[in-house]
């Protein structure tokens, strides 16, 4: 239990967004994807997910880890399929955003969701690092109520709004981890993940990568940070994390690029350079390969998601 307390204490949690949506027409997304972790509470109607079209019952929650591509069906599971790109570009055709507090949970075919990030030592995406699929959360009224509290706060302009949203979001993260532990889910992945807290050299690497995301992060540089040989540093990193360091670095660079696209007006060229890509065209190709949509469309995503 002490290791899991360390996990929870080390996590930096950041609220991203939340919404209460009413379905406009049934559809499926063949490759639903988001950088943030998404917790979806079904109020009324039908949601299913995965190749087996597992059904989410009313009052249950679907958790989709950030960075994990998932099939999701809204309404009739046999409806037409679209891509994540199509959903982002045409969000208003499929969902209507409800901004009336009194209607939360009452509309037919409606759901609420909260999106957030949770990073180990503010560096590693915790749920992404577990490499687990989307999963169902049942019989947890406390977690469902936390989602509704976040939605209610986000709809109002009251003193202390941001603070309460952050508190509720942290509570959501803790409840999800408790649910995983209580139901003995992903035991092997959690055991492997605990290695993050047992080797200070790995933590030094995480911190160095975060602080120098736009600079030289070659294995030669990393070997000096970790005080291991250049030939061994890649093997060492992968042994503890399950991923080679250059793949991890690219994901961190792209995640930082998404943050800059969402929060600044910097050009695509400036953002690419800031996260370590001198060649803008190459940055754009890698971005689209990782997220399935062009960087420019990701920038327009926020306005589309807030309809």
Q: Among the listed ranges 5-9, 65-69, 151-155, 283-287, which one has the minimum average pLDDT value?
A: 5-9
Query: Average of pLDDT values for 123-146?
Result: 90
pLDDT tops 70 at residue 255: yes
Read off the pTM: 0.80
pLDDT digits (tens, 9 = 90+) for 256-298: 998 899 888 899 999 999 999 999 999 999 998 888 788 888 7
**8 A C-beta contact, residue 111 and residue 41:** yes
pLDDT in tens, 104-123: 999 999 999 999 999 887 77
Angle (nearest 5°) at CA 153 between 148 and 157: 155
Q: What percent of the chain has a predicted confidence (pLDDT) above 90?
A: 66
User: What number does CATH give the domain 1-190?
Assistant: 2.60.120
Q: What is the mean pLDDT of the chain?
A: 90
For the residues 217-231, what does the mean pLDDT come to? Answer: 95
pLDDT band at 303; cut points 50, 70, 90: very low
CATH number for the segment(s) 199-297: 1.10.10.60
Residue 196's pLDDT is: 67
Using pLDDT thresholds of 50, 70 and 90, give the confidence band for residue 307.
very low
Using the predicted structure, report yes or no on whether residue 2 has a pLDDT greater than 70. no
Rounded-to-integer distance, Cα 173 and Cα 114, Å: 11
pLDDT at 305: 47
d(Cα 112, Cα 40) in Å, to the nearest integer?
6
pLDDT in tens, 49-99: 999 999 999 999 999 999 888 999 999 999 999 998 889 888 999 999 999
pLDDT at position 302: 52
Place of tokens 């977690």: 143
For the chain, give every domain's residue range. 1-190, 199-297
Q: CA 149 to CA 65: how far, in whole Å?
A: 21
CB 117 within 8 A of CB 66: yes
């Amino acid at each position: 239990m002490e290791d899991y307390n360390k996990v929870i204490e080390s996590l930096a949690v950041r609220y991203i967004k939340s919404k209460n949506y009413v379905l406009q027409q049934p559809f499926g997304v063949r490759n639903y994807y988001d950088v943030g972790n998404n917790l979806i509470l079904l109020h009324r109607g039908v949601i299913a997910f995965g190749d087996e079209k597992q059904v989410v019952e009313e009052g249950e929650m679907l958790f989709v880890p950030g960075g994990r591509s998932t099939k999701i069906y809204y309404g009739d599971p046999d409806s037409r399929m679209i891509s994540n790109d199509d959903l982002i570009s045409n969000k208003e055709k499929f969902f209507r955003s409800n901004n009336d507090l009194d209607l939360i949970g009452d509309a037919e075919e409606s759901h609420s969701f909260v999106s957030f990030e949770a990073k180990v030592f503010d560096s590693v995406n915790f749920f992404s690092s577990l490499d687990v699929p989307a999963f169902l959360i049942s019989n947890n009224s406390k977690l469902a109520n936390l989602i509704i509290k976040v939605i209610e706060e986000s709809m109002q302009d009251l003193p202390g709004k941001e603070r309460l949203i952050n508190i509720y979001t942290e509570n959501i993260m803790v409840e999800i981890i408790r649910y995983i532990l209580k139901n003995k889910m992903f035991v092997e992945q959690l055991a492997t993940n605990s290695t993050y807290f047992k080797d200070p050299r790995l933590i030094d690497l995480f911190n160095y990568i975060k602080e120098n995301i736009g600079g030289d992060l070659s294995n030669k540089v990393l070997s000096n940070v970790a005080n291991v040989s250049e030939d061994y540093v890649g093997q060492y990193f992968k042994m503890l994390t399950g991923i080679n360091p250059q793949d991890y670095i690219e994901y961190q660079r792209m995640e930082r690029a998404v943050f800059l696209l969402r929060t600044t007006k910097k050009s695509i060229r400036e953002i690419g350079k800031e996260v370590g890509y001198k060649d803008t065209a190459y940055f754009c190709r890698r971005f689209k390969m990782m997220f399935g949509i062009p960087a420019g469309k990701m920038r327009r995503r926020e306005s589309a998601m807030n309809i």
